[in-house]
Amino acid sequence: MIEAVKGARDILPEEIGRWQFVEAGARATFELYGFHEIRTPIFESTELFLRGIGEGSDIVAKEMYTFADRKGRSLTLRPENTAPVARAYIEHGMRRRSEVERLYYIGPMFRYERPQKGRMRQFHQTGVEVFGSDHPAVDAETLEMLLAFLARLGLKELDLVLNSVGCPRCRSDYRAVLLRHLGPHEPVLCDDCHRRLQANPLRCFDCKVPADRETMAAAPAILDHLCAACREHFGRVRSYLDDFGISYRVDGRLMRGLDYYRRTAFEVLAPGLGAQNALLGGGRYDGLVEDLGGPPVPGFGFAVGLERLVMSLPGSAVLPDGAPDVVMVASGEAAIGRALSLARGLRRSGRRVVLDPLPGKSLKSQMRRANDLKARYALILGEREVAQGLLTLKRLADGIQVTIGEGDLETTLAGAARA
């Protein structure tokens, strides 16, 4: 038997309602704020991620699925979607269409990492990107939208954590301060942190090794080394959030794992997820579009893993049940032919109908099947119904059934639904 590849999984019909609930909530919320959906390819030129994410990041160094095509070009399955969306923004001249462009996406991403609860090698994200404005109101309103989306899903007791990671100017000064702090500890840092020291020492804040985490916990906070413009920007973001009545906490050592972030960076933590409790994250990336060959356009966005959202849904979430309105229960070839015609008419009126043409199955076994599917009604066509040109409609919730003529079917279903 061939099984799914490690780190990838099937999403089965019995759980798909949870996914559809999350995806529908994302679309409904984001579109209220003027966002439009975009779909990018699942593979891109490797150079896009080298330039966009940064060669010093763990994603590029250890987690990308990269391969050569038949012409020797290096391609990568997308490990995240901000760089591809930025590439599409540049390639299709979206700036000419709108000074501020709001985009959202839903789809699979790929990273080679150890599979664990809520983290897979093929995983799914929904996220948003706002291009065209560096105003702190964009940061605050996008965060307010994010929390509205999570509230729509019924997620509560979340912890919004904010930081500012500065701009290239103040971050350069902070880098020197951080290297001075790490210098005495360099001999005992892990191999990954030795690599990070050369490429981007701020990445050391991402280390999971306990001893290194203690070292980084004692490091100077970047908030104490921001330039005046970055301090003002962060203060205004916080002021807007205060006006919204949104609670948050500031963590001067929060760093996102991608090199393109500027100024605002954030995470949302969910205590119920255990040790790996980061539900999602994002921030501002004002230099990304320019780094990818486009104009100097600012950006802000976030991405959230759907696996983690689906795991976190409360029991009170009202999920689509996917149950059919009617199951056709037909005995014999004549009944199946008649059932086909009836099912077609019901579907054209917008009803979900299941017809399993199994002539050898008894009416009793077909009724069990209707109950297993949690159908609302069974439409029975036995020998008596076929001979007399009648239909028996049974409401499965209480077992009440009526015998009617074919012309009365729609009226009876409509009336039963209102009862």
Q: For CATH 3.40.50.800, list the domain ranges present in the chain.
A: 326-409
Q: What strand order describes the sheet that includes 43-45? A: 43-45, 74-77, 65-68
CATH superfamily of 13-167+227-312: Bira Bifunctional Protein; Domain 2 (3.30.930.10)
CATH superfamily of 326-409: Anticodon-binding domain (3.40.50.800)
Q: What is the pLDDT of residues 188-244, one digit of tens each?
A: 778 777 777 777 777 777 777 777 777 777 778 888 889 999 999 999 999 999 999
For residue 338, the model assigns a pLDDT of 92
Strands 390-395 and 401-405: antiparallel
Q: For CATH 3.30.930.10, list the domain ranges present in the chain.
A: 13-167+227-312
Q: What is the pLDDT along the chain (419 residues), one digit of tens a residue?
A: 999 889 889 999 888 999 999 999 999 999 999 999 999 999 999 999 988 777 666 677 788 989 999 999 999 999 999 999 999 999 999 988 889 999 999 999 999 987 776 678 999 999 999 999 999 999 999 999 999 999 999 998 899 999 998 888 888 888 888 888 877 776 777 877 777 777 777 777 777 777 777 777 777 888 888 999 999 999 999 999 999 999 999 988 887 656 678 899 999 998 766 556 788 999 999 989 999 999 999 999 999 999 999 988 887 777 777 789 999 999 888 889 999 999 999 999 999 999 988 877 888 999 999 999 999 999 999 888 888 999 999 999 899 899 999 888 988 888 765 55
| CA separation, residue 261 to residues 74, 248, 269, 381 (Å) | 25, 20, 19, 64
What mean pLDDT, rounded, does the chain reach? 88
Measure the CA–CA gap between 257 and 384, rounded to whole angstroms: 69
A 10 A CB-CB count for 233 gives 23
* Tokens encoding 129: 């990107």
Enter the pTM of the model. Answer: 0.85
DSSP, res 61:
I
